[in-house]
Amino acid sequence: MNATAPVRVLLGPQSPEPNVAQAVAASGLPDGPLAVVSAGWQETEGDIDEMRSVLARQLEDLHLYRREEQLLAALPELAAAARLRQEQLIEQQRLYRLRLKQLSLAARQVMRADGDADLLAAEQRHAIAQLRALDRHHLYRTELIWRRFSSVNGPDLHPELARHIREIQDIVDRSNGIVLTGGNVAVLINRLRLFEVDRMLEVNNVVAWSAGAMALTGRIVLFHDHAPEGRRDAEILCAGCNTVSGYVFLPDASRRLRKADRQRVSFFSRRFAPDQCIALDTGNELQLRGSAIVRVNGARKLGSKGRVSAVKVK
């Protein structure tokens, strides 16, 4: 464990019972103000009075959602480029989903097939390898779209964007850490990247829950086994901030994931290995220093054999 490394506190949903105050207290995070990113809440960004009363600290919202709206309204060129980027990302996701649907169906069928154990094991490995290759490809393609956008739309080319980034950096510098709330994970990651908060997260203490925790990982995995339109295969959205590497966080897993289905759990775990898939339900907590887990409360991991078991402090 690296005692000087920034604290990372990862939590499940803060509703109906928040545990952020206890988790922050247990983390040893020094008293003092915290910067907040609630951009995932979109129009209700900044509605943090309840959090303020729970944490009993000075909180300052970075208003990434509002800043982006202002910025794009003021800079039509940047707005057009951002729109193009989003259209490309949506189209890329659609194409990925088309391929994923077929590969995943085939893999699930092979996982459930009967027959010679050796033959089956080889086919199952290969089916999952194909899925993993598709996931890698998608991650690469989405990164390419982002890089193309960033290379010609960075703060060096847009002084107004640079001004926002400086303001955000100033607030972060005055704070003892950054809090990332839940919400729409795509909205959140887009703003974190645009305003380069991903870079700031790296060297600061971070407290994050749900979508906020997902955004900190190396790749954001979308999932919902009980979606009203029917079960969907888990999808990679894009790269996360990679502040916390080696994990896939699954918030609200008890409600969204069929954890009792061992084949499903095994499939999920093997597809995203070597990253550890960790379920974060309401009341759960995971604390890391660097990449080492130093405190666990209720968080559970998905195993390659299909079991869901308690995460242990390493």
Partner 1 sequence: MNPQLRNLFRKGTPDAAAIDAFIAAAEFPLVDGRDVTFVYRGAADAVHLRCWISGLDTAQPFQALAGTDLWATTIDLPKGSRIEYKFEVSSNGHRELVLDPLNGVLAHDPFGANSVCQGYGYERPAWTLADTGARQGEIHASRLHSTVFGEDRDIQVYLPARFRPKRRYPLLVVHDGVDYLNFAAFKVVLDNLIHALEIPAMIVALLQSPDRLVEYGADERHARFVNDELLPHMAAHFPLIDDPVARGILGASFGAVASLHTAWRNPGHFGQLLLQSGSFAFSDIGRHNRGPVFDPVAEFMNEFREQPGRPAERIYMSCGIYESLIYENRSLVPKLQEQGIDVRFEEARDAHNWENWRDRLRTGLTWLFPGPLWMVYE
Q: Which residues would be at the binding site for partner 1 (CB under 8 A)? A: 13-15, 40, 43, 182-187, 210-211, 214, 222, 224, 227-230, 232, 237, 251-252
Q: What is the DSSP string of 201-269?
A: HHTS-EEEETHHHHHTSSEEEE--TT-TT-----EEEEE---SS-SEEEEETHHHHS-TT-HHHHHHHH
Q: Which of 175, 219 has the CB closer to partner 1?
A: 219
Q: Which of 7, 185 has the CB closer to partner 1?
A: 185
Q: Which of 23, 187 has the CB closer to partner 1?
A: 187
Q: Alpha-carbon distance 262 to 307, whole Å?
A: 6
Tell me the closest approach of the beta carbon of residue 18 to partner 1, in angstroms.
12
Tell me the closest approach of the beta carbon of residue 216 to partner 1, in angstroms.
12
Tell me the closest approach of the beta carbon of residue 211 to partner 1, in angstroms.
4
Tell me the closest approach of the beta carbon of residue 229 to partner 1, in angstroms.
4
Tell me the closest approach of the beta carbon of residue 91 to partner 1, in angstroms.
11
Q: Which of 40, 177 has the CB closer to partner 1?
A: 40
Q: Alpha-carbon distance 93 to 99, whole Å?
A: 10
| Alpha-carbon separation of residue 245 from 74, 109, 234, 291 (angstroms) | 36, 31, 19, 7
The token duo for 231 is 């079960």
Q: Which of 97, 295 has the CB closer to partner 1?
A: 97
Rg (alpha carbons) of the chain, rounded to whole number: 20
